[in-house]
Amino acid sequence: MSIRDEFEHIIARMNANPDPIRSLQAVYQFKLGEGQFLQVKFHSGQVELFDGTPLRAECRIILSEQTLRKLINDQLNAVAAYMSGALKVEGKLSLAFKLSEVLKAYI
């Protein structure tokens, strides 16, 4: 399964059960490699996925596809990934930690 497919799967679960994300209003950008970007927009309890960088992101997360898969599959703690340098954050660090908390409700 591609990483985009994994994002779509999680987003479908989020949109089906929006209570944990209702208060989250943000755009996250994931840089997964050279020129590979995905953006996730949280707004009013709904989530949308975008290829590329069409939106202004408040939080930009830089990591490898392998690290992202480990995070999505609950095989790696986001704080540990950040502290080890496997995950880098540009922009609002508080939003990155909020995303980590939200993902726990859907993994």
Run of H or E residues at 62: strand 59-63
Domain boundaries, the chain: 3-104
Output the average pLDDT for the chain: 94
pLDDT in tens, 14-62: 999 999 999 999 999 999 988 899 999 999 999 999 999 999 999 999 9
Structure tokens at 94: 């508080």
Confidence band, pLDDT 50/70/90 cuts, at residue 8: very high
CATH (one of 3.30.750.210, 3.30.1050.10, 3.30.1360.120, 3.30.460.80) for 3-104: 3.30.1050.10
pLDDT at 7 over 90: yes
pLDDT at 73 over 90: no
The answer, as to whether pTM is greater than 0.75, is yes
pLDDT value of position 70: 93
76 neighbors 47 (Cβ within 8 angstroms): no
Region 63-83 average pLDDT = 92
- Tell me, what DSSP letter sits at residue 19? G
